[in-house]
Chain A
Amino acid sequence: AQRVTQPEKLLSVFKGAPVELKCNYSYSGSPELFWYVQYSRQRLQLLLRHISRESIKGFTADLNKGETSFHLKKPFAQEEDSAMYYCALGTSYGKLTFGQGTILTVHP
């Protein structure tokens, strides 16, 4: 069975501080991992996917198959990064299994 765990419901940092949102997954197949973000009063949107290996809005995430993790990192948080972040695991036909989400608050 697939499972995604985001251990932190809430995460608070100050502007300019590094931030790391944790994500662990359980899946017997070859995983496809994503981070989705929901800003206040906006719809859920894709932030990044592991196969593209891009840096989006300064965020990066590395898939660690040994630790079954896909943590999201940013070296210097900005106030506009405050949002709900969901880690998601994709199957072969595109079903997404989401974690419970982490609310990130960046204080000025």
Chain B
Amino acid sequence: ETGVTQSPTHLIKTRGQQVTLRCSSQSGHNTVSWYQQALGQGPQFIFQYYREEENGRGNFPPRFSGLQFPNYSSELNVNALELDDSALYLCASSLETGTGEQYFGPGTRLTVT
């Protein structure tokens, strides 16, 4: 059984640029959730994708968007990067929507300068 993987591990972007983060869900999981974790804080829910549709969204602006593909892998896109977007971005997959039993990836560390 393959766990959740994320790429890249780290990246550095400049304010105003766009970034795409990728996530492969655990085998057999059809739901992917994305979280933002600022330094010293708990993860904060961005949105969830279930069977290629956005299934719920947290308090993040529209410049945060996502996709889920037929193989249930997912992307998080952030446009017009701001300094406050610097954080660890976590992807989590689950067997179905509606469960808080989620399996997390190692995260992508984004630094915006």
Chain A residues with CB under 8 Å of chain B are 4, 32, 34, 43-46, 49, 86, 88-101
Contact of A98 among B4, B40, B43, B99 (CB under 8 A): B43
Contact A43 B107 (CB under 8 A): yes
Please measure, in the bound complex, the distance between the C-alpha atom of A98 and the C-alpha atom of B92, giving whole angstroms: 14
Contact B100 A34 (CB under 8 A): yes
* CB closest residue in chain B, given A101: B42
- Contact partners of B107 in chain A: CB under 8 A: 43
Q: Is B7 an interface residue (CB 8 A)?
A: no
Write the nearest CB–CB distance from B103 to chain A, whole angstroms: 8
* CB closest residue in chain B, given A9: B40
Write the nearest CB–CB distance from A99 to chain B, whole angstroms: 5
Please measure, in the bound complex, the distance between the C-alpha atom of A100 and the C-alpha atom of B55, giving whole angstroms: 25
- Contact partners of B100 in chain A: CB under 8 A: 32, 34, 49, 88-90, 94, 96
Contact of B104 among A45, A95, A101 (CB under 8 A): A45
A89, A94, A98 — most chain B CB neighbours (10 Å): A94
* CB closest residue in chain B, given A49: B101
**Number of B positions contacting A (CB below 8 A):** 29
Q: Annotate B80-107 by CB proximity to A: 1 below 8 A, 0 otherwise.
A: 0000000000101010011111111111
B44, B48, B102 — most chain A CB neighbours (10 Å): B102
Contact B41 A93 (CB under 8 A): no
Contact A98 B56 (CB under 8 A): no
Write the nearest CB–CB distance from B38 to chain A, whole angstroms: 10
* CB closest residue in chain A, given B44: A98
Contact of A94 among B41, B42, B99, B104 (CB under 8 A): B99
Please measure, in the bound complex, the distance between the C-alpha atom of A101 and the C-alpha atom of B107, giving whole angstroms: 17
Q: Annotate B13-41 by CB proximity to A: 1 below 8 A, 0 otherwise.
A: 00000000000000000010101000011
- Contact partners of B31 in chain A: CB under 8 A: 94
Contact of A43 among B41, B44, B48, B104 (CB under 8 A): B104
